[in-house]
A and B are shown apart, each in its own frame.
Chain A
């Protein structure tokens, strides 16, 4: 195997150890979709504008189309499939998106959710303006963003409530 053209990589995806051989020219998003069959990560523009392919790499939101799979060697990747709890309970953001109509067609949703998971980890109490800036790199052509912003603020509130309940238990 010519290591300049294809590489063996080892990484964690949604908590599970993964080993694979990848073409060095394949993007992380294509690797996730085609080799791991994690098709929750959507590809819209493939040049870093639409945000649909956003995944978390070591906890940081990253365009899956602007990173090579080989660069994920040794990293920990979380896709939209890995956001919910291990028992299948939805992440508070997912629940709020459902409850408050934060999605219509669902194409942008994986990128919105991964981006917002990072935001709420960094900043558990964002203002509406901070939420809008955080998703400024994610295009949604259905919702007009209002319901997404509402759902995010609601999720942040419920997560803060859970954190307070947890700390006083």
Chain B
């Protein structure tokens, strides 16, 4: 249970890090280390080179951009949790971050590390799916941006090349006063979710839904945007009855099966969790700083 031998590199700039990743063989990036370090300790990964991004200070920032919040990949989860800017501009992320691991792991863990690890039950990939986040990826060959929808290539596999690194995430704003809800079912607090749901709602003055986003984590190999539910909601007046009917569509999502739960159990949870997330979103409309709290426990 000790890391294997590797050569350690701690670049100070993104360019240096890209240069290392383009020249070294069998190199892995180290972000916050809260998944990579266990994998090293258990020797599930055996890199010849470890490139630590911890000293690349340009990657840790939460910045306001027109119409979006721009977050550096090495921003610690703890800094997102305590950021007034995140709470004001992106309350869904502020709620979701409470569910990420534990206090000790959020102090080290980063948003970029979680996205690239891409665990299907992790909170931050689902938040990015819900918000239609845009990711910026850099290598010695150049910089490109991609929509989060195109980011997962498969189970725990992001569509980035071995010499590329994620530098920033842009989370587009929703209208002020929009509703947000994040709920999760896990055996114990801090465990990966069996199923989680994130919901966003915008309504007009008559209470009619103008825009909806419903995302499920833990059910498929990557976060699932449930378009069928979103389409059933838009144009309707928001109500508990509407949500109850619309979320039944989640029962037919193809679900994973593992030691924690069979597929049918996950499908049942998908219905319940998406409904609860929508109810929390409706309740929070008009109060952007509200918290949905521990609704699932």
List chain A positions with a Cβ less than 8 A from chain B: 2, 4-5, 7, 24-27, 30, 45-48, 51, 54, 57, 60-63, 65-68, 70-71, 115, 118-119, 132-134, 136-137
Which residue of A4, A45, A47, A137 is within 8 Å of B8 (Cβ)? A4
- Contact of A136 with B6 in the complex, beta carbons under 8 Å: no
| 10 pairs of residues in contact across A and B, judged by CB atoms under 8 Å | A25-B2, A27-B37, A47-B41, A48-B34, A54-B104, A60-B107, A61-B104, A63-B108, A67-B108, A134-B103
Closest CB-CB distance, B9 to chain A, in whole Å? 6
B288 at the interface (CB under 8 A from A): no
- Complex-state Cα separation, A60 to B105, whole angstroms: 10
Interface hits, B92-133 → A, CB 8 Å: 101-105, 107-108
- Contact of A133 with B41 in the complex, beta carbons under 8 Å: no
Closest CB-CB distance, B198 to chain A, in whole Å? 20
- Contact of B105 with A47 in the complex, beta carbons under 8 Å: no
- Contact of A5 with B8 in the complex, beta carbons under 8 Å: yes
Closest CB-CB distance, A20 to chain B, in whole Å? 15
- Complex-state Cα separation, A68 to B3, whole angstroms: 10
Known: A25-B6, A66-B38. A137 touches B105 (CB 8 A): yes
Which residue of B4, B9, B37, B49 is within 8 Å of A65 (Cβ)? B37
Closest 10 CB pairs of A and B: A137-B102, A24-B8, A4-B7, A47-B38, A46-B1, A66-B37, A60-B107, A136-B189, A25-B3, A61-B104
- Complex-state Cα separation, A51 to B103, whole angstroms: 11
Which residue of A24, A51, A70 is within 8 Å of B102 (Cβ)? A51
- Contact of A68 with B8 in the complex, beta carbons under 8 Å: yes
- Complex-state Cα separation, A6 to B188, whole angstroms: 39
Hey, which chain A residues are within 8 Å of B107, CB to CB? 57, 60-62
Which residue of B5, B9, B188 is within 8 Å of A136 (Cβ)? B188
Known: A48-B37, A66-B34, A133-B189. A24 touches B105 (CB 8 A): no
- Contact of A63 with B104 in the complex, beta carbons under 8 Å: yes
- Complex-state Cα separation, A4 to B6, whole angstroms: 8
- Contact of B108 with A66 in the complex, beta carbons under 8 Å: yes
Q: For chain B, what secondary structure do more than half of its interface residues adopt (helix, strand, loop), or is it mixed?
A: loop
B190 at the interface (CB under 8 A from A): yes
Closest to A30 in B: B2
List chain B positions with a Cβ less than 8 A from chain A: 1-10, 33-34, 37-38, 41-42, 49-50, 52, 54, 78, 101-105, 107-108, 188-190
Closest CB-CB distance, A27 to chain B, in whole Å? 7
Closest CB-CB distance, B28 to chain A, in whole Å? 13
Closest to B107 in A: A60
- Contact of B2 with A71 in the complex, beta carbons under 8 Å: no
Hey, which chain B residues are within 8 Å of A2, CB to CB? 7
Known: A25-B2, A62-B104. A136 touches B190 (CB 8 A): yes
- Contact of B104 with A24 in the complex, beta carbons under 8 Å: no
- Complex-state Cα separation, A93 to B102, whole angstroms: 20
Known: A136-B189, A137-B101. A71 touches B1 (CB 8 A): no
- Complex-state Cα separation, A136 to B188, whole angstroms: 8
Hey, which chain B residues are within 8 Å of A30, CB to CB? 2
Extra contacts, 5 of them, besides A24-B8, A67-B37, A70-B10 (Cβ < 8 A), are: A4-B8, A5-B7, A5-B8, A7-B8, A47-B42
- Complex-state Cα separation, A5 to B108, whole angstroms: 23
Hey, which chain B residues are within 8 Å of A61, CB to CB? 103-104, 107
